[in-house]
Structure 1
Amino acid sequence: MTHLSKIPTFTIRQARMDDFEAMAPLWRQLDGYHQGRDPRRFPGTEEKSPRSHAYIAEVIHCADQALLVAESCPTIEGQPGKLMGLALVSVKTCPPGPVHPVRVVFEVENLIVDETSRRQGIAKALLGASESWARQNGASEMLLNVYAFNEAARHFYESLGFQPLRIQMVHAL
C-alpha cells in the first residue's frame, strides 16, 4: 500500500509591508461580511484600502501583535504566491480588579480566509500559527470574539476546542 503525502499548497508567515495591497481584498471580505449582517454596527466605507498603511505598519512592527498571512505556494512557472488568508493576534495586559489579578490576555482579533480558498485547512493553520505565537510569548490560553450571527465561525472554533467564556448582550437605545 502506497501512501501519498499531500504537497502543501500554502505557507503561513509573518506579514510584511509589501503585502499591504494583497491584504486589502481580505479585509474587504471580512468587513463586508460583518456589514452585511449588522450594518448598524458595521457601517460601510468607500475607502480603497480598508486598513490604512499606518495601521498595518504599526501592527507589523508592534511586539505585542502578530499579523500572520497564508500564502499560496509559488507556481512552477515562477509566479509569486497569492495571499489566501490572514490572522491578527494581540497580547494585552489587563489591570487587576477587585476579584481578579493582573491578566495577560492573548486574543485573535481577526481571522479571514479568502472566499475562494476556504475548506483547505487555511483557517486551522492560521489559528495554529496564532496559538504558537501566543505560546512563545507566554500564553496559557487564548481568547477570541465571534458575533452571534456568525454561526459557521462559532462551529469552527468550537471544533478546535474553544468554549464560550461569557455572553455579552446588547440592547439598542
Structure 2
Amino acid sequence: MTRLSKIPTFTIRHASLDDFDAMGPLWHQLDGYHQGYDPNRFPGTPKDAPRSSAYIAEQIHCADRALLVAEKCPTIEGEGGALIGLSLVALKTCPPGPVYPVRVKFEIENLVVAETSRRQGVARALLNASEDWARQNGASEMLLNVYAFNEGAKHFYESLGFQPLSIQMVHAL
C-alpha cells in the first residue's frame, strides 16, 4: 500500500521587516480579543498600527528574542504567502536567588493564529519552532501567561503539557 504524505499548507520562519504590514491583522486580532474581555486592562489601540515598525524591528534584531511567523504555502492556483500566525518569544536569564540557581528560560509573550487557520496545527507548529529556538539558545524551561478569561488557550496549552506554576491575582484600587 502506498502511503500518501500530507503536503504542507504552511511554513514557519523568522519574521523580517518586510512582514510588517502582513502582521497587522494578526496583532489586531490578538489585541481585539483581549480588549473584548478586559477593556480596562487592554485599552483600544490605533487601528492603523497596533505595533510600530520600530517595535517590530527591535523584536526581529534583538539576540534574545525571536519573532516567528507562520506563512501559508503557495497553491497551484497561486494563492499563498499570507501570514496566518505569529509567535513572539523572549529568552530571560533569572539571577540566582536564596533558593535557586541562575536559570535561563524562555517566555512566549504572544501567540496568535488567524481565525480562518485555526485547528490546522499552526499554533502547535509555532510552539514547536519557538521551543527549538529557545533550546538552541540555552533555555531549560518555557513559560507563558494566559489570562483567566482565555479558556481556549488554557485548554490548548494544557493539552501540550503546560501546567499552572502560580496564580497571579489583581485587585483594582
Q: Same fold (TM over 0.5)?
A: yes
Q: Once the two structures are superposed, what CA deviation does each residue of 1:60-84 show, in whole Å capped at 9, x if it has no partner? A: 0111000000000012244551100
Is residue 2:28 matched to residue 1:17?
no
Residue matched to 1:161? 161
Look up the SS of the partner of 2:117 in the other structure: coil
Structure 2 unaligned regions, length at least 5: none
| CA RMSD, Structure 1 to Structure 2 (Å) | 1.2
Residue matched to 1:8? 8
Q: Residue type matched to 1:123 in 2?
A: A
**Percent sequence identity over matched residues?**
79
Q: Once the two structures are superposed, what CA deviation does each residue of 1:43-70 show, in whole Å capped at 9, x if it has no partner? A: 0122411000000001101110000000
Paired residues of 2:69 and 2:86 also in contact (CA < 8 A):
yes
Look up the SS of the partner of 1:116 in the other structure: helix
Q: Residue type matched to 1:146 in 2?
A: V
Residue matched to 1:38? 38
Is residue 2:91 matched to residue 1:121?
no
Look up the SS of the partner of 2:11 in the other structure: strand
Report how far residue 172 of structure 1 moved.
1.1
Residue matched to 2:105? 105
Look up the SS of the partner of 1:127 in the other structure: helix
Structure 1 unaligned regions, length at least 5: none
Report how far residue 106 of structure 1 moved.
0.6
Paired residues of 2:104 and 2:140 also in contact (CA < 8 A):
no
Paired residues of 1:75 and 1:81 also in contact (CA < 8 A):
no
- 1: CA distance between counterparts of 2:132 and 2:39? 34
Look up the SS of the partner of 1:76 in the other structure: coil
Q: Residue type matched to 1:112 in 2?
A: V
Q: Once the two structures are superposed, what CA deviation does each residue of 1:69-105 show, in whole Å capped at 9, x if it has no partner? A: 0000012244551100000000012223333332222
- 2: CA distance between counterparts of 1:45 and 1:162? 30
- 1: CA distance between counterparts of 2:52 and 2:139? 29
Q: Residue type matched to 1:29 in 2?
A: Q
TM-score by length of 2: 0.95
Look up the SS of the partner of 2:115 in the other structure: coil
TM-score by length of 1: 0.95
Q: Residue type matched to 2:144 in 1?
A: L
